[in-house]
């Protein structure tokens, strides 16, 4: 188990290294000069050249990569071209929005999906199961940004229960902050919940046809006891896989959703930084997201082991 | 298994019907739309649905129904080509990885990990940042992320199949690995791949809509569902029909494909087939 | 009052009738065998007793447990009975246990569920029960997980679960089919002693008459959901009244007419010298060197043309690995294999190997897994023609396929069918047709009949014998079933832990085994003829 | 926060009440002294002397930083840090008399040295000032005494006092200039408090302000780039003013709502369809004329701006006294356009590209323009670009055929006289005219010259003139003192206050 984890960790690090090369190389060819963008239409050429010098854009490519990657190893993501502040600070500010949002969405989707999956699996084939699965089928088909628009239309524009967008900041207190995150979290969570509910249901049904379920039934356990005590934990394995994948989807989803709701999170930052050609921020952010996904996969591997003793110990 | 038997599967029948209807709409749009989808009539802008414009008009006075019809071409074409790229490159890679094993397998799977480690949307944004937004780049961006999906499915299915005795029998009959892959493995995993293709197709439609929504997909005057939603967003307070119908078009199309995929999974399941 | 009375039990799923008017009685302390071929309804009877029939099944009739009719019992009543009054042991020990729960939890769970005992009390009882079934807590602590146990040990856990509350009725559904003969004997012994100890009634479901003859006091023979004969075991098996029972017992005892072996001549067809195959072991710790495991360890033997040899041994003894190397599907770590004098173990994957492959083919155990379900019989059977130097034309191909199909007792019309359109026995014929189409000199048959029903197996054995005579084929039978060895091979090789421990003429070795491994194997293998004659002698 | 309780049905009431409880503190105060303004773009930093972004000036101009002069609500030049000045008769030397007792926000005193420092810094060789041209005329800056500065020009400049009122010419202190991007330190009535990146910037009243103190003691600029979110934020009361509202389509909704006042003003933004005059076929005057006639300005304004905006026939703001309405000269006439195209040798039209920067007016306007061009046979492929690409490719690289953009700088008619400008328009007569204007200080004479310049541009049609960009101001009905127009892009809050 330990050597397996070390191997996964090593693979993760290599992936991260290759990713850093790819990200750097890719962003180097992005057209557009950040210095010119900052100074705008009226700027003179020598002012732009002076700014490029200040920003270190005139150094050779390899040198810039080495300095960038080297600094990143010690946790220094560099300084934003446009904001002039350390990228780390920018990320820290934005993550305070994105992380709660992603976590809220993840928890929300689990809180909806797993009970629904259990409900449906327990009533497999009955009308209630069919109805629930029909709804989830619909949920899977709904693009989250459209769902977000509908939520805005209903809850913000028509009913005016919550703000349609924007983020008052955590300094405004948890109440308004959470209020601003409710709709985005819902928009992210429900389509994901639909997928998760379907996976949970089919994993449970798959598990329910296993021999050991019959063993448990032969012990005298009732249907529901078998479902909760035996099927659920075994069904968690495919559910975990999907949860891991979903986290990556949620991160990507926040890019769109933060744009819909205008939340100052990582998703907006990356979009904004790309349009502003603040490449150092983009590079740092992409690496952060890639590292997060690798880390999440590693955590999922660990959770597999927690759920499944076969992965914990050799035979 | 005949089509008639397959159609008794409600999910397959409904999915097929919706998918065919969407495809037919796309084809019809080449020959006929209620209005010219790109014809502006600014005096007639933002009209609610009526007998004249069934789904209303947009902020330029264009007919939304016509735009949705023409937009379906765009969605279908992008998703189709992206699936083609993914399947065309991913399946051979997956089969090769499974059949050859060793360093090839290891390398391909690590590359897969690499692609999976990038949130697809983020990479799409970067790709379009370099090459500029447009249909072609949207296809490439979505297609690249289909490759590892197909490679993984093909590899997994092939690996479990390669353990079957008839593969050993074929080897005892002197067939080479690559020949076995083509003659025995591919036909046996085709079902799985077809089902995966419908799933990726529907994901492709969603991805295209997402990219277009962010302005990274096809460009005007070609209508696209995602961009229609983007444009509707600021007008949702007084012209909700602009947001409603393109969204419904996406939902219905994706729903149809998902139902078709689910139905195909059951219809093509060899376990169910062999009982017949 | 009988412990269990089944009266006019019928089960149907949709329009398909599964069981029809089954009657049966079982007394306390007795073993009652329910015997039949696949599809006869044995397992359905057991599931009907437990009321665990699959979704959509309808049931009629009476099932009385100690006089109380449980056929109409509610689900909650059944939950009280299952595990407490009726215990059940299943066929597949590898999948019958929940992989994510410890064996202690799984044994204790039923105890706590029914008695409301505390965790500690239940664990104490579970420990005692596991000890009783041969898993002493010192070596098998309660916190072991199923994957840390072998198949036989897992079956002991399943038995411990079933017997934890000393149920009055124990149902064992093919409890030893998935185990090798030695484990089979141990598990059967365990069941027998548990029945005696607790005065339980045991309903033993089996397709193996030898096992049944040894274990059961009474027997009920099922065929297509109906009882064909029922009564005292020895009486029914030695003097069957029903023609089906007669055919069934005869098939179990069947010995094909084998042509007399030809005298060995000149160079051996196959010669295996000092063959060893190692697999890289798994590293226990990160930095320690992995110790390789030896699947085949320094094996040498020879085979003459037209000779039949049985390679016997417990599962995992290395016989299948050996067979794969003989067929050049796997490469040895060291040693050599010669076919017709030519070394084949180190041939590159080219023409030379193709030539060699023409001379040897294989028949697998599983008639379902050995064919590509998407190809027609013609393509499948013709596949080895690929090895020929000159590829046959489509017409020639069809002709050759037609010829071999007739030879194995199928019709040339079967050529255009798909594998799933054949029965299990027919498929095994198809596999044999594929193996002989290139006119090989050696066919390796890996457990060729162990997945077949008794009557079909008898006919396939006849086919093997027939082909040996007509084609002068040499057979290498790989089997754990001594009866197959006895029926098919003049020569037997006994393997244990990768090594050959004994070889010689079949009769000599099986009647008078010298090595410990061979002795254990022979002792554990039930022989219907011997058991019946023994029992008859006992009864006088 | 304001609720229209009538629109809320009974079951929802509990929820609403809960929400109201959360937010009641915000609506409780009797007379407010704080204001939250919405802005579309977030500046990348806050130093107006080191960046061109209008977003910087929209926050700091007149609020944090002040110059020698300032530009008033209607574009007039007013005294600021310089209480008064004298101009030599040769128009080449200016003596500024500064206010006394002025302090920077960090407590350091303001004096003539700061003025010299600021002006010299802005025109230095390594300066990153985006509008170095403003200082091009300066020859020398001398400190006479702590309250007096003398600026000598190389040549007379009619615009000099006006130029000194730009945000790029504000006075900064040597002690704090380097840190102004992050923590701006000026002399203005508001001090920088904090900046939540991506979200908002907060200013608070400066108790030590030298001039008349404003009514507000706290101003929050909240960045809301999305038009839909901007609408929602206004409706929800999260922001009380949106001086430059980005969603013209939503304006009627606010006009109908008594809680808001909608103030449509003017900007200096001449919005044009630029053509690459150096690249065929746009080097052909007939093609350019054809394009001018192919465009229906009204449709562009109605479609892209929902009717807001004033059509222009040349490159001059309609609110300027020298403005001439030339919209009748190049009328929408697709027939004529086709005819001109045929005369130019393109009877079947041609294919070209139209690069569009991100703002809605450009993207939407571009779609309409493309449709109008298509109607006369010109197939313009739309290529959306980011600002960075636009600046690189179009503005600097001059690699484009057509583009749509708004030129927001005040008084920027001279761009058509610049040699290296991206229009590639070269007309010696026009150039001479501009030189003449620069050297003319008499208003009447200047205006006459301006009128001639407008006429030349209309005749030559180097670009197609679309509209003067409107300023769509929407704010709370009780809010007073915000600018109606944008003579310069600034949100001067010195006069803003809440009515009771």
* pLDDT value at residue C264: 60
Contacts with A36 from chain D: Cβ below 8 Å = 388, 391-392, 396
**Closest Cβ–Cβ partner in B165, B173, B176 for C369:** B165
- To the nearest 10°, the Cα dihedral for C244, C250, C252, C256? -130
Domain ranges of chain C: 1-85+171-252, 96-166, 304-328+342-532
Tally of CB atoms within 10 A around C71: 17
Asked if B188 and C327 come within 8 Å (Cβ–Cβ), the reply is: no
Nearest to A97 by CA among A217, A297, A255: A255
Nearest CA in chain B to C373: B188
D197-254 confidence digits (pLDDT tens): 778 899 999 999 999 999 999 999 998 877 777 887 888 788 999 999 988 988 988 9
Closest CB to B209 among A26, A143, A259:
A143
Kindly indicate the confidence band of residue B214, based on its pLDDT and cuts at 50, 70 and 90: confident
- Residue B1, pLDDT score: 57
Of B59, B221, B236, the CB nearest to D228: B236
Whether pLDDT at D22 is above 50: no
Chain A interface includes C81 (CB < 8 A): yes
| Contact with chain A for residue B254, Cβ under 8 A | yes
Average pLDDT of chain C, as a whole number? 89
Q: Chain B within 8 Å of D257 (Cβ-Cβ)?
A: no
Q: Do domains C1-85+171-252 and C304-328+342-532 have the same CATH topology?
A: yes
Domains defined for chain B, CATH in brackets = 3-28+53-275 (1.10.3720.10)
On whether the CB atoms of residues C312 and C482 are closer than 8 A, the answer is yes
Confidence of residue D19 (pLDDT cuts 50, 70, 90): very low
Could C95 and A222 be called an inter-chain contact, meaning their C-beta atoms sit closer than 8 Å? Answer: no
Domain annotation for chain A: domains and CATH numbers? 2-73 (no CATH), 90-312 (1.10.3720.10)
Tokens of C116: 């409301």
Q: Given a cut of 50, is residue D13 above it in pLDDT?
A: no
CB-CB neighbors (< 8 A) of C284 in chain A: 314
Q: Which residues of A touch D197 (CB under 8 A)?
A: 83, 85, 90, 93-94, 264
In this prediction, residue B274 carries a pLDDT of 44
C touches D, CB cut-off 8 Å, minimum 3 pairs:
no
Binned at pLDDT 50, 70 and 90, residue C163 comes out as very high
Chains that touch A (3 or more CB pairs under 8 A): B, C, D
Alpha-carbon gap: A31 to the closest alpha carbon of chain B (Å) = 6
Residue of D nearest to A162 (CA): D19
Shortest CB distance from B169 goes to which of C362, C387, C420?
C362
Average pLDDT, chain A: 85
Please choose, from the candidates D353, D362, D342, the residue with its C-alpha nearest in 3D space to the C-alpha of residue D290: D342
Instruction: Report the residue of chain D nearest A171, measured CA to CA.
Output: D196
A126 touches chain C (CB under 8 A): no
Give the span between the Cα atoms of A186 and D413, in whole angstroms. Answer: 51
Asked if pLDDT for residue D10 goes beyond 60, the answer is no
Q: Do A221 and C113 touch (CB under 8 A)?
A: yes
pLDDT band at D12 (very low <50, low <70, confident <90, very high): very low
Q: How far is D50 from chain B (nearest CA, A)?
A: 26
Do A265 and A203 form a contact (C-beta atoms < 8 A)? Answer: no
pLDDT, position D4: 33
A/D interface, count of CB pairs below 8 Å: 155
Q: Closest partner residue to C384 among B173, B184, B188, by Cβ?
A: B173
CA B11 to chain centroid, in Å, comes to 18
Using CB atoms and an 8 Å cut-off, which of residues 131-150 of chain B contact chain A?
none
Residues of B in contact with D247 (CB under 8 A): 234
How far, in Å, CA of C448 to CA of C452, rounded?
A: 8
> Which pLDDT value is given to residue C262?
66
Q: Which residue of A has its CA nearest to C88?
A: A218
- CB of C92 within 8 Å of a chain A CB? The answer is yes
The residue among A164, A181, A279 with the most chain D CBs within 10 A of its CB, best to mutate, is: A164
State how far Cα C135 lies from the chain centre. 24
pLDDT at A315: 42
Q: Are A220 and C147 inside 8 Å of each other by CB? A: no
CB contacts < 8 A, A to B, total: 110
Q: Which residues of D touch A172 (CB under 8 A)?
A: none
Residue A180 — very low, low, confident or very high, per pLDDT cuts 50/70/90? confident
| Chain-chain contact of C286 with A6 (C-beta, under 8 angstroms) | yes
Mean pLDDT in residue range D370-384: 94
Contact D249 B233 (CB under 8 A): no
pLDDT in tens, A81-96: 777 788 888 888 888 8
A254-308 pLDDT, tens digit each: 888 888 887 888 888 888 788 778 888 888 888 888 888 888 888 888 888 888 8
Rounded to whole angstroms, the Cα distance separating A68 from A286 reads 13
Q: Above 90 in pLDDT, residue D185?
A: yes
Min Cα–Cα distance to chain A from C145, Å: 7
The CA-CA-CA angle for residues D465, D466, D472, to 5°, reads 135
Contact B40 D303 (CB under 8 A): yes
A114-142 pLDDT, tens digit per residue, is 999 999 998 888 899 999 999 999 999 99
Q: Which structure tokens are listed for A210? A: 């296993």
Chain B residues with CB within 8 Å of chain D CB? 38-40, 42-43, 45, 59-61, 129, 132-133, 215, 219-221, 233-238
Cα atoms in the 13 Å half-sphere on the side-chain side of B191:
15
Q: Check if CATH label 3.40.50.720 holds for domain C1-85+171-252.
A: no
Lowest mean pLDDT among A165-169, C283-287, C464-468: C283-287
Give the residue-averaged pLDDT of A2-16: 82
Please report residues of A whose CB lies closer than 8 A to that of B119.
Answer: 248-249, 251-252, 255, 289, 293
Rg, Å, chain C Cα set: 26
**Chain A CB within 8 Å of residue C293 CB:** no
Please report which confidence band the pLDDT of residue C540 belongs to, taking 50, 70 and 90 as the band edges: low
DSSP state string for B74-136: HHHHHHHHHHHHHHHHHHHHHHHHHHH-HHHHHHHHHHHHHHHHS-HHHHHHHHHHHH-SSHH
Does residue C244 surpass a pLDDT of 80?
yes
Q: Sort out which chain C residues have CB atoms less than 8 A from B173's CB and list them.
A: 357, 361, 383-384, 386-387, 434
Minimal C-alpha gap between B178 and chain C (Å) = 13
Residue C21 has pLDDT above 90, yes or no: yes
Contact A262 D229 (CB under 8 A): yes
- A34 vs D16, D22, D388: nearest CB: D388
- pTM assigned to the model: 0.84
Task: Inspect the interface and report whether the beta carbons of A39 and D233 lie closer than 8 Å.
Answer: no
B274 contact residues in C (CB cutoff 8 A): 373, 420
Q: Which of residues 96-115 of B touch A (CB under 8 A)?
A: 110, 113-114
pLDDT of B255 over the 90 cut: yes
Q: What is the mean pLDDT of residues B217-229?
A: 90
The Cα C333–Cα C243 span in angstroms is 54
Nearest CA in chain D to B215: D384
D296, two tokens: 């229906």
pLDDT higher than threshold 80 for residue A2: no
* CB-based contact B258:A140 (threshold 8 Å): yes
Residue D316 pLDDT exceeds 70 = yes
At D497, give phi and psi (nearest 5°): -160, 160
Q: Which fold has domain C304-328+342-532?
A: Rossmann fold (3.40.50)
Residue B104 and residue A234 in contact, taking contact as beta carbons nearer than 8 Å: no
Chains that touch B (3 or more CB pairs under 8 A): A, C, D
Measured between alpha carbons, how far is residue B241 from residues A153, A261, B58, B227, D307 in Å? 11, 20, 9, 14, 22
Cβ distance A222 to C96 less than 8 Å, yes or no, reads no
- Is the model's pLDDT at B179 over the cut of 70? yes
**D: neighbours with 3+ CB pairs under 8 Å?**
A, B
């Amino acid at each position: 188990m330990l050597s397996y984890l070390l191997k996964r960790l090593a693979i993760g690090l290599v992936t991260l290294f290759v990713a850093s090369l790819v990200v750097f190389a890719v962003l180097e060819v992005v057209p557009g000069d950040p210095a010119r963008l900052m100074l705008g239409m009226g700027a003179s050429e020598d002012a732009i050249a002076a700014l490029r010098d200040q920003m270190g854009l005139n150094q050779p490519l390899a040198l810039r990569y080495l300095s960038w990657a080297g600094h990143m190893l010690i946790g220094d993501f560099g300084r934003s071209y446009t904001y002039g502040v350390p990228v780390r600070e920018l990320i820290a500010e934005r993550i305070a929005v994105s992380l709660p949002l992603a976590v809220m969405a993840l928890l929300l989707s689990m809180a909806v999906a797993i009970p629904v999956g259990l409900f449906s699996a327990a009533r497999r084939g009955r009308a209630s199961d069919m109805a629930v699965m029909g709804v989830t089928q619909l949920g899977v088909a709904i693009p989250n940004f459209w769902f977000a628009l509908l939520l805005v239309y209903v809850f913000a524009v028509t009913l005016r229960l919550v703000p349609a967008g924007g983020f008052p900041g955590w300094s405004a207190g948890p109440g308004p902050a959470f209020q601003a995150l409710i709709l985005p979290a819902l928009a992210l969570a429900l389509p994901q919940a639909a997928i998760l509910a379907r996976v949970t249901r089919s994993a449970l049904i798959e598990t329910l046809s296993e021999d050991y379920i019959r063993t448990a039934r032969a012990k005298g356990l009732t249907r529901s006891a078998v479902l909760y005590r035996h099927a659920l934990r075994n069904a968690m394995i495919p559910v975990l896989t999907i949860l891991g994948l979903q986290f990556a989807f949620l991160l990507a989803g926040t890019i769109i959703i933060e744009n819909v709701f205008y939340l100052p999170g990582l998703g907006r930052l990356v979009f904004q930084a790309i349009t502003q050609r603040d490449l150092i921020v983009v590079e740092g952010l992409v690496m952060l997201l890639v590292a997060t996904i690798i880390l999440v996969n590693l955590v999922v591997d660990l959770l597999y082991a927690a759920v499944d003793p076969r992965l914990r110990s050799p035979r | 298994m005949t089509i008639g038997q397959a159609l008794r599967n409600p999910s397959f029948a409904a999915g097929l019907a919706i998918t065919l209807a969407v495809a037919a709409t796309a084809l019809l749009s080449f020959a006929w739309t209620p209005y010219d989808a790109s014809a502006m009539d600014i005096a007639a802008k933002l009209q609610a649905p009526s007998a004249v414009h069934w789904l209303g008009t947009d902020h330029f006075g264009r007919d939304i129904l016509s735009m949705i019809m023409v937009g379906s071409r765009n969605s279908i074409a992008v998703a189709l080509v992206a699936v083609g790229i993914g399947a065309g490159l991913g399946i051979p890679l997956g089969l090769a990885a499974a059949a050859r094993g060793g360093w090839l397998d290891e390398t391909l799977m690590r590359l897969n990990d690499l692609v999976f480690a990038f949130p697809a949307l983020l990479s799409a944004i970067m790709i379009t940042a370099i090459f500029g937004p447009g249909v072609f780049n949207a296809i490439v961006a979505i297609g690249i992320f289909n490759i590892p999906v197909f490679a993984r499915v093909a590899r997994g299915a092939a690996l479990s199949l390669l353990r079957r005795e008839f593969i050993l029998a074929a080897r005892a009959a002197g067939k080479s690995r690559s020949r076995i892959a083509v003659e025995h493995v591919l036909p046996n995993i085709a079902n799985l791949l077809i089902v995966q293709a419908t799933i990726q197709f529907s994901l492709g439609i969603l991805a295209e809509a997402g990219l277009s929504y962010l302005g990274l997909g096809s460009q005007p005057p070609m209508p696209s569902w995602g961009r229609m939603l983007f444009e509707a967003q600021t007008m949702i307070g007084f012209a909700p029909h602009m947001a409603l119908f393109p969204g419904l078009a996406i939902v219905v199309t994706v729903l149809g494909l998902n139902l078709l995929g689910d139905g195909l999974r059951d219809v093509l399941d060899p376990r169910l087939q062999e009982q017949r | 009052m009988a412990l269990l009375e089944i009266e006019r039990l019928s089960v149907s799923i949709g329009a398909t009738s599964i069981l029809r008017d089954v009657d049966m009685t079982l007394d306390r302390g007795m073993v009652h065998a329910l015997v039949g071929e696949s599809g006869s309804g044995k397992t359905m009877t057991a599931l009907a007793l437990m009321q665990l029939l699959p979704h959509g099944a309808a049931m009629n009739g009476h099932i009385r447990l100690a006089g109380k009719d449980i056929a109409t019992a509610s689900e909650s009543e059944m939950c009280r009975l299952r595990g407490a009054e009726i215990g059940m042991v299943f066929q597949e020990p590898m999948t019958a246990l929940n992989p994510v729960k410890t064996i202690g939890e799984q044994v204790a769970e039923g105890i706590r569920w029914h008695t409301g005992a505390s965790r500690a009390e239940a664990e104490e009882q579970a420990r005692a029960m596991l000890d009783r079934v041969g898993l002493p807590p010192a070596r098998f602590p309660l916190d072991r997980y199923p994957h840390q146990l072998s198949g036989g040990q897992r079956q002991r856990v399943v038995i411990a679960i079933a017997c934890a509350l000393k149920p009055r009725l124990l149902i064992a559904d093919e409890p030893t089919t998935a185990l090798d003969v030695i484990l089979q004997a141990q598990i059967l012994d365990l069941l027998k002693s548990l029945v005696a100890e607790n005065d339980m009634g045991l309903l033993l479901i089996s397709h193996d008459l030898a096992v049944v003859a040894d274990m059961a006091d009474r027997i009920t023979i099922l065929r297509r959901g109906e009882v064909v004969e029922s009564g005292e075991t020895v009486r029914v098996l030695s003097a069957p009244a029903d023609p089906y029972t007669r055919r069934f017992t005869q098939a179990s005892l069947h010995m094909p007419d084998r042509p007399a072996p030809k005298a060995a001549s000149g160079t051996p067809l196959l010669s295996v010298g000092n063959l060893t195959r190692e697999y890289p072991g798994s590293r226990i710790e990160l930095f320690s060197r992995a110790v390789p495991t030896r699947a085949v360890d320094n094996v040498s033997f020879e085979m003459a043309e037209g000779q039949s040899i049985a390679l016997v041994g417990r599962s995992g003894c290395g016989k299948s690995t050996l067979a794969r190397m003989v067929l050049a599907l796997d490469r040895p770590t060291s040693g050599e294999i010669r076919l017709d004098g030519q070394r084949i173990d180190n041939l590159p994957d080219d023409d030379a190997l193709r030539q060699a492959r023409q001379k040897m083919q294989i028949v697998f155990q599983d008639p379902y897994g050995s064919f590509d379900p998407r190809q027609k019989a013609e393509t499948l059977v013709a596949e080895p023609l690929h090895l020929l130097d000159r590829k046959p034309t489509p017409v020639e191909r069809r002709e050759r396929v037609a010829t071999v199909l007739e030879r194995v007792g199928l019709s040339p019309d079967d050529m255009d069918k798909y594998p799933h359109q054949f029965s299990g026995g027919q498929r095994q014929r198809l596999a044999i047709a594929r193996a002989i189409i290139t006119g090989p000199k050696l066919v390796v048959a890996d457990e060729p009949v162990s997945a077949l029903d008794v009557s079909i197996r008898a006919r396939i054995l006849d086919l093997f014998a027939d082909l040996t005579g007509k084609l002068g084929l040499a057979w290498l039978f790989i089997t754990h079933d001594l009866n197959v060895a006895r029926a098919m091979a003049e020569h037997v090789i006994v393997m244990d832990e990768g090594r050959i421990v004994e070889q010689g003429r079949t009769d000599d070795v099986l009647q008078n085994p010298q090595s410990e491994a061979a002795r254990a194997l022979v002792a554990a293998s039930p022989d219907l003829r011997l058991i019946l004659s023994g029992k008859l002698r006992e009864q006088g | 926060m304001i609720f229209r309780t009538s629109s809320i049905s009974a079951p929802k009431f509990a929820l609403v009440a809960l929400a109201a409880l959360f937010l009641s503190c915000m609506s409780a105060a009797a007379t407010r002294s704080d204001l939250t303004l919405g802005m579309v773009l977030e500046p990348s930093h806050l130093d107006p002397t080191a960046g061109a972004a209008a977003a910087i000036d929209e926050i700091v101009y007149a609020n944090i930083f002040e110059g020698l002069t300032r530009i008033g609500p209607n574009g007039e030049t007013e005294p600021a840090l310089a209480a008064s000045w004298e101009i030599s008769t040769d128009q080449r030397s200016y003596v500024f008399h500064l206010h006394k007792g002025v302090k920077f926000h960090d407590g350091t005193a303001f004096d003539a040295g700061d003025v010299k420092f600021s002006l010299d810094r802005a025109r230095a060789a390594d300066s990153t000032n985006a509008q170095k041209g403003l200082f091009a005329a300066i020859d020398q800056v001398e400190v006479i005494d702590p309250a007096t500065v003398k600026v000598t020009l190389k040549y007379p400049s009619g615009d000099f006092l006006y130029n000194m009122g730009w945000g790029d010419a504000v006075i900064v202190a040597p002690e704090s200039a380097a840190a102004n991007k992050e923590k701006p330190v000026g002399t203005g009535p508001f001090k920088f408090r904090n900046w939540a990146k991506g979200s908002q910037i907060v200013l608070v009243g400066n108790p030590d302000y030298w001039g008349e103190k404003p009514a507000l003691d706290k101003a929050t600029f909240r960045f809301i780039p999305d038009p839909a979110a901007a609408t929602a934020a206004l409706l929800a009361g999260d922001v009380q003013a949106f001086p430059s509202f980005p969603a013209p389509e939503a304006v009627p909704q606010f006009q109908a709502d008594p809680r808001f006042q909608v103030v449509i003003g003017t900007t200096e933004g001449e919005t044009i369809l630029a053509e690459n005059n150096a690249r065929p076929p746009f080097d052909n005057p007939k093609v350019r004329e054809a394009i001018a006639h192919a465009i229906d300005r009204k449709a562009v304004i109605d479609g892209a701006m929902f009717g807001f905006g004033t059509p222009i026939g040349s490159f001059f703001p309609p609110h300027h006294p020298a403005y001439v309405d030339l919209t009748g000269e190049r009328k929408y006439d697709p027939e004529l356009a086709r005819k001109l195209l045929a005369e130019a040798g393109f009877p079947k039209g041609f294919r070209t590209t139209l690069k569009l920067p991100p703002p809605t007016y450009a993207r939407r306007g571009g779609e309409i323009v493309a449709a109008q061009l298509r109607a006369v046979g010109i197939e313009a492929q739309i290529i959306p670009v980011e600002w960075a690409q636009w600046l690189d490719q179009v503005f600097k690289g001059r690699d484009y055929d057509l583009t749509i953009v708004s030129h927001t700088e005040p008084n920027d008619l001279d761009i058509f006289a610049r040699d290296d400008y991206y229009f590639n328009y070269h007309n010696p007569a026009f150039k001479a005219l501009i030189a003449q204007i620069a050297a003319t200080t008499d208003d009447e004479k200047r205006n006459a010259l301006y009128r001639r310049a407008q006429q030349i541009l209309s005749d030559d049609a180097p670009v197609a003139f679309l509209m003067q960009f409107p300023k769509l101001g929407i704010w709370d009905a009780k809010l007073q003192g915000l600018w109606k127009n944008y003579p310069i892009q600034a949100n001067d809050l010195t006069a803003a206050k809440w009515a009771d």
